[in-house]
Chains A and B, each alone.
Chain A
Amino acid sequence: MTSYIIRRLIQAVPLLFLISFIVFVLISLAPGGPMSAFEENPNLTPEDLARLEEQLGLNKPIHERYLAWISRILVGDWGYSNATRRPVLTEIGDRLPNTLQLMVISFIVTILLAIPIGIISALKQYSVFDHMATFLAFVGQAVPIFWFGLILIIVFNVWLNNPVSPSSGFAWSHLWDCGDCKPLMPGGGMAPYGVENPTLGQRIQHLILPVTMLALFGTGTYTRYMRGQMLEVIHLDYVRTARAKGLSELQVIIRHALKNALTPVITIMALQLPGLFGGALFTETIFSWPGMGRLFFRSAQRVDYPLLMGIVMINASLIILFNLLADITYAVLDPRVRYD
């Protein structure tokens, strides 16, 4: 068991280095970067440019630059953003909690929706509920996440109005002349404009649409998965035994079937958690959420090397870490896996 964990850990480390090297090489090949601002300056002669290159260490071969970079990373010097001149770790650190907030809350919403719906769907297979749930899950998986976000904004921010706002009740701002109306849901940001310390209610209000957007795909996927697992489990012999023993249906389901159906689902869900970063990128861009996704987006537009590297490193590390945890969890729960 411990040897399995150690083996997996040993495999994970070179993987991380390899990814960092690949990303480093890719980004260094991309146009734009530390020299681009200087190259556009007509006052600098070619000798000046060469000197600057030498100073920044950009004329050394790629593996040397990589080694220099990685040794700084390991010590904690992640460099400075080309755009804002602030330390990369500070920029990321400012925003990582916001992204995590989004991701974790979406994850929780997904669990709270997908698991019960999946279970009930399986227990009442082929019922109206099952058909509707399966259909909606299927639809949820097919909807492009960025489109969904835009639709949410159109419906809840542009069209529907806040019933609590001063002028009138629910109104579609195009059909009625609703001069004073405020939108039902905010269209962006973590807090209302200019508010430094939002109240809990305001925070929640600003979270509703982004979380809905981020949670859609996962809910669809895991509802189907939970349903599948549950269906598999309730046909197995030991469930039949439990029923034969005279246990109530509820007991059979919860104490026997559910545990075994739930485990792979939760493991897979947790494993896919770092994947939410991608979805968060769209969510943060559309809803102007100050998080890592939007930071990456802006950095890519400006080809801000150090920031891009930093963000990808963090993301890749999380993916590898979660993969590792999932493998270990499988090994703990299913002894058959250990003897690989």
Chain B
Amino acid sequence: MATTTLDRLDLSVQKGKERSMLSMTWHQFRRHHMAMIGSFVLLLLILGSILVSVVSPYDPEKSSMRERRDPPSLVHPMGTDTLGRDMMTRLLYGGRVSLTIGLLATVVGISIGTTIGALAGYYGGWLDNALMRLTDLFISMPRLFMLIIMTLLLRSWDVPLLKANGGVGGIILILGILSWTGTARLVRGQFLGLKEKEFVEAARALGIKNMRIVFRHILPNTATPIIVAATLLVANTIIAESGLSFLGFGVQPPTPTWGNMLNAAQDEMRKGNWWMAFFPGLMIFLTVISINYIGDGLRDALDPHKIQ
């Protein structure tokens, strides 16, 4: 008896390996060498930041007058700062702050952006118009200038949540508020395309409420570009926070962050103590380039056109 279509399908499922979306994505990601290297480096940095209290023999706050301004050596791989504190230890502690800010601010930004983009794209009409004008408004504002002005504002708000640890919470908030526009445009574009598809029509015919359609039906299909955008946004935010702290408007000392360590290094480096400026920036650079490569790899891995 001739094999039916169903038999043939059955056979092909048995022959090929059962592949979930996750494993397909992972396999494609693994083929992107630079992304793998980036993941490794980033993992190293994250682990270093988390484990530094366990692994490092130095106290990041304890000054040592004898060892002030020491260049890199076996004892201090990245040298010491003006108070004799070990740079590597401080940098890894600072990494905690910088990485956390990058992550949380991105979460804020993505949340706002996705919501605005979804609403604008799905409902269209005057809501779309209004939200897009709002987006245009935020895009037209000079970002760095606005960030600085908002930090001035933060100084007058005595909210402990925002002010703790040198103002970390406040920085996360304002970075998030000024970083959602790219995501909003992206999500809106996705929604404009997806809302015409049959599965949305079917959902509506079944009587599913709009909000549920937006969040449980359409949004999961936009996950891919949002993930890639989020990855790149983290890198962006880390640079923004570092820049802000470098100017003195971001996280305030003594809370260490890579940016404000660079700030402290400016005078020193002209005297020849280069390591104080080199290593903090190196950390930022390694983090950002790793994240960028990871984002590149993710974009390739999640691209449905490229799956073999």
Interface residues of A (CB under 8 A from B): 11, 15, 18-19, 22-23, 26-27, 29-32, 138-139, 141-148, 150-151, 153-154, 157-159, 173-174, 187, 274, 277-278, 281-282, 285-286, 296-297, 300-301, 303, 308, 311-312, 315-316, 319-320, 323
Contacts and interface: CB of A to CB of B under 8 A. Distances in A.
A142 B142 contact: no
20 contacts: A15-B137, A18-B137, A22-B141, A29-B156, A31-B152, A144-B242, A144-B243, A144-B281, A144-B288, A146-B242, A146-B246, A147-B262, A147-B282, A154-B278, A158-B270, A187-B270, A277-B145, A285-B247, A303-B152, A319-B140
B149 A308 contact: yes
A30 B270 contact: no
B249 interface: yes
A138 B142 contact: no
Interface of B: 133, 136-137, 139-146, 148-150, 152-153, 155-156, 235, 239, 242-243, 246-249, 262, 265-266, 269-270, 272, 274, 277-278, 280-282, 284-285, 288-289, 292-293
Nearest to B134: A18
A15 B136 contact: yes
B145 A142 contact: no
A297 B270 contact: no
B141 A147 contact: no
Contacts of B269: 150, 153-154, 158
Contacts of A285: 247
Contacts of B149: 23, 26-27, 30, 300, 308, 312
Contacts of A146: 242-243, 246, 262, 281
A234 B235 CA distance: 32
Contact of A315 (B142, B156, B281): B142
Contacts of B144: 277-278, 281
A278 B137 contact: no
Contact of B277 (A19, A151, A300): A151
B142 A150 contact: no
Nearest to B269: A154
B95 to A, nearest CB: 14
A300 B148 contact: yes
B152 A27 contact: yes
B142 A278 contact: yes
Contacts of B156: 29-31
Interface SS majority for chain A? helix
A151 to B, nearest CB: 7
Contacts of A22: 137, 141
Contacts of A311: 145
Contact of B239 (A144, A154, A301, A320): A144
Residue from A31, A32, A145, A323 having most chain B Cβ neighbours under 10 A = A31
Given A26-B150, A26-B153, A300-B148, A150 B288 contact: no
Given A142-B235, A146-B246, A312 B145 contact: yes
B243 A282 contact: yes
B281 A151 contact: yes
Given A31-B155, A142-B289, A144-B239, A154 B140 contact: no
B189 to A, nearest CB: 15
B152 A147 contact: no
Nearest to A311: B145
Nearest to A142: B289
Contact of A274 (B142, B235, B239, B270): B142
A29 B153 contact: yes
A285 B144 CA distance: 14
A282 B144 CA distance: 10
Nearest to B271: A158
A18 B248 CA distance: 28
A30 B155 contact: yes
Given A30-B152, A150-B262, A150-B269, A138 B281 contact: no
Residue from B150, B153, B242, B292 having most chain A Cβ neighbours under 10 A = B153
A19 B247 CA distance: 24
Residue from A27, A144, A174, A319 having most chain B Cβ neighbours under 10 A = A144
A144 B285 contact: yes
Contact of B278 (A138, A139, A142, A151): A151
Residue from B152, B265, B293 having most chain A Cβ neighbours under 10 A = B152
Given A19-B137, A30-B153, A278 B143 contact: yes
Nearest to B275: A154
Nearest to A277: B142
A150 B247 CA distance: 13
Nearest to A141: B292
B45 to A, nearest CB: 14
B274 A142 contact: no
A147 B136 CA distance: 31
A189 to B, nearest CB: 14
A277 B140 CA distance: 13
A264 to B, nearest CB: 17
